[in-house]
């Protein structure tokens, strides 16, 4: 039997029950965090990833890799994952949130706990990558982490099959990545810091069934792509960040807070964006 590998990229802001930065901030960040709330959120994060993994296995996946994709990327409680499932842990992975899509035999990528892009209306904890990014536009289309990750997976011929998270993110994903993506909204966004949630066990039930259906129909899915070469613009939240980003070779200044560049493929686009997001982490006190 041929391999049918699946990669699950699991973030935390889109998890059921989450609507505050306090809930998604690991303990090493000191005063920002309430340990009890973070521990509850990481448990639900793992349970939702486990539900997606079990759904993939029930649909015939021969190997499932759960890629911890939130913040320090050391959030998962692996003992709660199904037996036999592999997982990643640790920051600065070569492909970051979609580490593993480059492996042979991967038939699909699943998003769990995903959130809306920066600037979205009603998207709980909506952002893109870090708090410094205001907008990312690829060939004129604003996108979020889902679009960047979907394009990078598509570079390796891997389609996005499934997504779960808040309703605003699910609408954005359906609009950009198409109807082939099975989506499960586990909460309804009410504001930047409020949401109406499903019961956590209902959320995991729906994720399990959605992932099972998505992997079962993987053969019909197409990798996400765009027009190449792609024109990319990155808007930041302060001119000093754009000052720093503009100094990177191949990057040009578009306006006070925006820089741009051209990418021949999704790998170059993703790694350039990732580098610029890091360069933009400059002090603003001069």
Q: How far is CA 24 from CA 45, 99, 142, in A?
A: 10, 21, 25
37 is in an annotated binding site: no
Residue 198 CB neighbours (<10 A) = 17
115 is in an annotated binding site: yes
Report d(CA 59, CA 62) in Å as an integer. 9
Instruction: Calculate ∠ Cα 95-167-188, nearest 5°.
Output: 130
92 is in an annotated binding site: no
11 is in an annotated binding site: yes
Cα atoms in the 13 Å half-sphere on the side-chain side of 53: 25
Q: Exactly one of 127, 197, 208, 224 is catalytic; name it.
A: 127
Encoding tokens for residue 170? 């699910």
Q: Contact at 8 Å (CB) between 8 and 49?
A: yes
167 is in an annotated binding site: no
Q: Contact at 8 Å (CB) between 92 and 57?
A: no
Question: Quick check: is 224 catalytic?
Answer: no
Q: Is the dihedral of CA 90, 91, 97, 103 positive or negative?
A: negative
With a CB cutoff of 8 Å and minimum separation 6, the contacts of 99 are: 7, 67, 88, 93
Look up tokens 């990798």; give the residue.
223
| Catalytically active residues, by annotation | 127
Q: Which residues are part of a known binding site?
A: 11, 13, 70, 115, 145
Q: Which residues are part of a known binding site for Zn(2+)?
A: 11, 13, 70, 115, 145
């Amino acid at each position: 039997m041929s391999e049918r590998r699946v990669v699950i990229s699991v973030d935390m802001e889109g998890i059921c029950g989450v609507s505050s930065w306090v809930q998604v901030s690991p303990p090493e960040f000191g005063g920002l965090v309430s340990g009890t709330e973070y521990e509850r959120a990481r448990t639900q994060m793992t349970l939702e990833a486990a539900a997606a993994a079990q759904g993939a296995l029930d649909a015939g996946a021969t190997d499932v890799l759960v890629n911890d994709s939130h913040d320090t990327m050391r959030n998962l409680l692996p003992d709660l994952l199904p037996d036999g499932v592999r997982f990643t842990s640790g920051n600065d992975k070569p492909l970051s949130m979609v580490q593993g899509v480059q492996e042979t035999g991967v038939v699909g990528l699943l998003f769990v706990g995903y959130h809306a892009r920066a600037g979205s209306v009603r998207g709980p904890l909506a952002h893109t990558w870090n708090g410094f990014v205001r907008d990312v536009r690829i060939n004129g289309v604003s996108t979020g982490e889902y679009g960047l990750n979907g394009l990078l997976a598509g570079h390796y011929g891997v389609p996005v099959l499934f997504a779960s998270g808040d309703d605003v993110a699910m609408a954005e994903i359906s609009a950009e990545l198409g109807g082939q993506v099975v989506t499960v909204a586990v909460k309804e966004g009410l504001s930047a810091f409020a949401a109406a949630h499903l019961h956590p066990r209902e959320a995991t039930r729906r994720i399990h069934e959605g992932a099972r259906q998505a992997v079962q129909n993987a053969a019909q899915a197409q990798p996400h792509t765009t027009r190449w070469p792609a024109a990319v613009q990155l808007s930041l939240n302060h001119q000093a960040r754009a000052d720093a980003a503009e100094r990177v070779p191949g990057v040009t200044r578009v306006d006070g807070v925006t820089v741009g560049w051209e990418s021949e493929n999704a790998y170059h686009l993703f790694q350039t964006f990732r580098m610029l997001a890091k360069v933009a982490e400059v002090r603003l006190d001069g």
